[in-house]
């Protein structure tokens, strides 16, 4: 019997394995690079947000320190418990009130929250009433303390996570 020539192999011949590694390896490489790039940009975004938040905290702290100094200067203007404000003290009081107004209209609106804004308005009004003799020193001191407490609370809340709806 004569030997028969071998038959050509058909593509769907059982027992033959197809080498998919040549196609899968580049796909896995592209997938790995894509995931790495996504992780990198995600991390950079988080870092950028933290840097911005840190910068805003620093600006808020500096602004609140200026407000605290202005409030403190207003409250330590010499005063007589028997009068609202003496004639000799009006110039010093007005000068301190002007510094407070500079904080009020200057950088503070960029960093304050609604609680600080309300406390600033109340203190500003109370200082005006005190200057006109409509309220006494203790009312002014109480509003000054409320303002500084609002600033302190604002700084504490800066790093807390916002609640839903805020």
Q: For the segment 2-46, what is each residue's pLDDT rounded down to a tens digit? A: 666 666 555 555 555 567 777 777 777 778 888 877 777 777 777
The CATH number linked to 98 is: 1.20.120
Q: Quick check: is 144 in a domain? A: yes
Q: What percent of the chain has pLDDT over 70?
A: 78
pLDDT at 166: 46
Q: Where are the strands (E) in 40-148, listed by range?
A: none
100 alpha carbon, distance to own chain's centre = 23
Q: Quick check: is 137 in a domain? A: yes
- Give the whole-angstrom CA distance, residue 97 versus residue 90: 10
Does 124 have pLDDT greater than 90? yes
Q: Quick check: is 118 in a domain? A: yes
- Give the whole-angstrom CA distance, residue 163 versus residue 161: 6
Q: Quick check: is 119 in a domain? A: yes
The DSSP annotation for 46-91 comes to HHHHHHHHHHHHHHHHHHHHHHHHHHHHHHTS---TTSSS-GGGHH
Domains held by the chain: number: 1
State the residue range of the domain holding 111.
Answer: 52-157
pLDDT category of residue 86 using cuts at 50, 70 and 90: low
Q: Quick check: is 79 in a domain? A: yes
Q: Quick check: is 77 in a domain? A: yes
End-to-end CA distance of the chain: 92
Q: Quick check: is 102 in a domain? A: yes
Q: Quick check: is 122 in a domain? A: yes
pLDDT category of residue 116 using cuts at 50, 70 and 90: very high
pTM of the model: 0.64
């Amino acid at each position: 019997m004569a030997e028969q020539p071998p038959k050509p192999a058909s593509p769907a011949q059982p027992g033959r394995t197809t080498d998919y590694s040549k196609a899968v390896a580049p796909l896995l490489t592209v997938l790995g690079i894509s995931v790495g790039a996504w992780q990198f940009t995600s991390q950079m975004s988080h870092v950028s947000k933290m840097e911005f938040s840190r910068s805003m905290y620093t600006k808020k702290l500096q602004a609140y320190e200026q407000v605290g100094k202005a409030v403190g200067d207003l409250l330590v203007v010499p005063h007589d418990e028997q009068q609202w404000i003496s004639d000799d003290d009006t110039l010093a009081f007005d000068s301190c009130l002007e510094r407070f107004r500079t904080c009020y209209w200057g950088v503070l609106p960029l960093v304050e929250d609604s609680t600080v804004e309300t406390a600033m308005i109340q203190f500003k009004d109370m200082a005006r009433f005190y200057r006109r003799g409509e309220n006494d020193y203790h009312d002014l001191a109480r509003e000054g303390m409320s303002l500084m407490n609002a600033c302190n609370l604002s700084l504490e809340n800066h790093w807390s996570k916002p609640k839903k709806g805020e």
